[in-house]
């Protein structure tokens, strides 16, 4: 029953968003074809987690509460200073609502605990969403091999069952604070890597199609809760405000 409801929501929410929110027909590009892409930022986010309120979710995962001014700083840096607003509209044909922001650290999972789910460390797709959802992932440190970078299979491979996909087709992120990851988490299998030594710090934003570039007015408060699911349904009652661009 739950599986049917997720398929039903995914199909109809995608159709509704395409009708209501898509502004233009876009040419095929890497992001549409593969379901993920790495964008080089002009300016890295100048955000430190060292002085932020810490919320320990489990022994391998800690999230950090960003201040309201930090959230504004992140949105302005990404969408204005780094021109991400125009980049996303051109590549995908949508304007977006910023629905959720999460700042966190992940730590090495000991061998005896690796079969358990601690921080999305098993292969999965985000199912309670449309095919138009995107997530932005910004590392707050250099990510080398073994530092737990996100692992992704592209859309074509992700149409198969996970145990039928060849491991050689796996993408493992390596990069710096200027490398922003855009991913369609509904269509691409993905998982968090397991950092071998130092913890991995990063920020994630959930974006859903909208009439205008907006943010949820409760973006700060949402940090204390789980990531919201079924965003199209919740957008009917959620309060939003237009993003204020500062050059």
Q: Which two tokens stand for residue 9?
A: 């929501």
pLDDT at 208 over 80: yes
At residue 246, the pLDDT reads 67
- As a whole-number percent, the residues of the chain with pLDDT over 90 amount to 88
Distance CA 223, CA 53 (A): 11
pLDDT at 224 over 80: yes
Return the bridge partners of 181, or none.
38, 137
pLDDT at 25 over 80: no
Q: Which two tokens stand for residue 67?
A: 């201040």
- As a whole-number percent, the residues of the chain with pLDDT over 70 amount to 99
Range with the lowest mean pLDDT among 20-24, 168-172, 217-221?
Answer: 20-24
What is the pairing mode between strands 214-216 and 95-106?
Answer: parallel
Distance CA 227, CA 206 (A): 9
pLDDT at 238 over 90: no
At residue 236, the pLDDT reads 80
The torsion angle over the Cα atoms of residues 172, 208, 44 and 54, rounded to 10 degrees, is -90
pTM for the full model? 0.95
Q: Tell me the average pLDDT of the chain.
A: 94
At residue 37, the pLDDT reads 98
Find which of 3-7, 35-39, 50-54 is predicted with most confidence, using mean pLDDT.
35-39
pLDDT at 188 over 80: yes
At residue 24, the pLDDT reads 83
pLDDT at 211 over 70: yes
At residue 169, the pLDDT reads 96
At residue 117, the pLDDT reads 95
210-219 average pLDDT score: 96
243 pLDDT band (50/70/90 cuts)? confident
* Burial class of residue 144 (count of CB atoms within 10 Å of its CB; 0-12, 13-18, 19+): middle
Query: φ, ψ for residue 17 (rounded to 5)?
Result: -65, -40
81-91 average pLDDT score: 95
196-214 average pLDDT score: 96
pLDDT at 226 over 80: yes
Of 60, 172, 47, 166, the residue nearest 101 (C-alpha): 47
Distance CA 27, CA 6 (A): 29
Distance CA 225, CA 243 (A): 22
At residue 104, the pLDDT reads 97
- Per-residue b/e over 215-239, b at no fewer than 16 CB within 10 Å? bbeebbebbeeebbeebbeebeebe
């Amino acid at each position: 029953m739950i599986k049917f409801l997720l398929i039903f929501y995914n199909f109809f929410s995608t159709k509704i968003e395409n009708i209501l929110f898509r502004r233009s027909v876009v040419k095929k590009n890497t992001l549409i074809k593969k379901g993920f892409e790495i964008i080089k930022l002009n300016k890295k986010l100048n955000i430190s987690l060292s002085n932020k309120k810490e919320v320990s979710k489990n022994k391998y995962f800690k999230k950090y509460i960003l201040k309201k001014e930090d959230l504004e700083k992140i949105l302005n840096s990404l969408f204005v200073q780094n021109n991400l607003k125009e980049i996303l509209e051109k590549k995908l044909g949508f304007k977006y609502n910023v629905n959720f922001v999460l700042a966190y650290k992940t730590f090495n999972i000991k061998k005896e605990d690796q079969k358990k789910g601690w921080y999305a460390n098993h292969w999965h797709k985000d199912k309670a969403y449309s095919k138009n959802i995107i997530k932005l992932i910004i590392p707050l440190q250099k990510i080398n091999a073994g530092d737990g970078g996100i692992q992704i299979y592209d859309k074509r491979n992700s149409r198969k069952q996970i145990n039928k996909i060849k491991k050689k087709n796996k993408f493992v992120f390596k990069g710096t604070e200027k490398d922003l990851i855009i991913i369609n988490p509904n269509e691409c299998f993905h998982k968090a890597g397991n950092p071998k030594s130092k913890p991995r710090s990063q920020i994630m934003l959930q974006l859903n199609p909208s009439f205008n570039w907006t943010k949820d007015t409760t973006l700060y408060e949402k940090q204390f809760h789980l990531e919201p699911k079924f965003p199209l349904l919740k957008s009917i009652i959620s309060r939003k405000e237009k993003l204020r661009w500062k050059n």
